[in-house]
């Protein structure tokens, strides 16, 4: 399969199964994914992520109030040390941020996102 065919399959799978399930099925659980966020998205309150009460309360107790704060803490690796934030909550936060960011990408940006994954994971 060439890049365009792989892209088409990824986009179709994402529409049917969702982004997280598609990435898990195609790339596995240990994939590193990066999505750029607009300044507006980074200023958005973490409440917009619709986290579980446990996850939300744990991050709010540390002073995290915006998605930008949360992304910074994720990038620094600081989230794993937060009290009452276990592995499930950590995974939930990663997933919600990924989906939140992906859903705000234009169709062209989503295409670029998938092409980057294809290239970085040697799918051709």
DSSP-assigned states of every residue in 52-64: -HHHHHHHHHTT-
Q: How far apart are CA 64 and CA 66, in angstroms?
A: 6
Average pLDDT over residues 83-111: 91
Quickly state the pLDDT bin for 38 (edges 50, 70, 90): confident
Summarize the chain as % helix, strand, coil (round to 5): 70, 0, 30
Q: 41-91 pLDDT, tens per residue?
A: 899 999 999 999 999 999 999 999 999 999 998 888 888 888 888 889 999
How much is the mean pLDDT over the chain?
Answer: 89
What integer is the mean pLDDT of 4-32? Answer: 89
Task: Read off the tokens for 117.
Answer: 């994954």
pLDDT given at position 100? 93
Residues 6+ apart with CB under 8 A from 9: 1
| Burial (Cβ within 10 Å: 0-12, 13-18, ≥19) of residue 97 | buried
pLDDT tier, 123 (very low <50, low <70, confident <90, very high otherwise) = low
pTM of the prediction? Answer: 0.84
Q: For residue 120, name the pLDDT band (cuts at 50, 70, 90).
A: confident
């Amino acid at each position: 399969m060439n890049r365009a065919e792989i892209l088409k399959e990824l986009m179709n799978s994402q529409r049917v199964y969702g982004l997280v399930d598609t990435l898990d099925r195609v790339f596995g659980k240990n994939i590193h994914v990066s999505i750029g966020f607009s300044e507006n998205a980074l200023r958005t309150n973490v409440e917009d992520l619709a986290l579980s009460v446990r996850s939300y309360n744990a991050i709010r107790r540390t002073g995290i109030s915006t998605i930008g704060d949360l992304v910074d803490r994720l990038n620094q690796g600081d989230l794993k040390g937060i009290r009452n934030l276990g592995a499930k909550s950590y995974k939930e936060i990663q997933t919600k941020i990924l989906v939140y960011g992906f859903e705000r990408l234009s169709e062209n940006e989503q295409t670029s996102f998938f092409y980057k994954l294809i290239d970085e994971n040697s799918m051709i």
